[in-house]
Amino acid sequence: MTQNSEDAADLPAVFGRPFGVLISDGALQTALRLVTSLATETTPGSLGSGVTMTVHGAVATTAASLPLVEAVDRLQYDLDEGPCLDAWRLMRLVRVDDLRTERRWPAWTAAARPLGIRSVLSVPLQARDERIGALKVYAPQPSLFGDREERVLGMFAEQAVGLLAAVRTPEELARVNDQLKEAVRTRDLI
């Protein structure tokens, strides 16, 4: 094999590193459901989990393991306050030991208490300096989450970010394709 052939064989790996892979919307939803399912399983005692991301400029739950998770999240978005929004906005882990005594988000805690949620653990999803969203788990028991659960969910979130950062929409693929065409055109001109 010549040097040029070896270089050409490495192109998919080189281009794949910065640009990720294109997957369909269905595959994206499958990946997100997998993330929420595994987050629930890796956090013993949790009732359910969800992923919050920005979709078309608006914050939304892109996947949830239960309809209850979507309802609790929707309260945060409607009231513009809550642990998952703080984890996403401030890019830090947020833990709520008991919604009955929580004071950081008065409107949200008052609205969420009747839904049976007592503990919350929310971690940011961040790729480099880009905020991707937040991953959170909810539990019906108070003080369910501690240092161990924080570490486990944090490690899980890092892996989830790798999966989600690799996802590219058709619009992103078109943009990358245009950039690659421009790079080839510029190279040919040089």
Q: CATH no. for residue 60? A: 3.30.450.40
Is 16 part of any domain? no
Per-residue CA distances from 63 to 8, 114, 157 (Å): 39, 22, 14
The model carries a pTM of 0.74
Assess whether pLDDT exceeds 70 at residue 182: no
Domain containing 83: what range? Answer: 23-189
41 contacts: CB under 8 Å, gap ≥ 6: none
Mean pLDDT for the stretch of residues 63-70 = 95
pLDDT of residue 111: 97
Residue identified by tokens 């790079």 is: 183
Is 17 part of any domain? no
Is 12 part of any domain? no
Is 14 part of any domain? no
How many structural domains does the chain have?
1
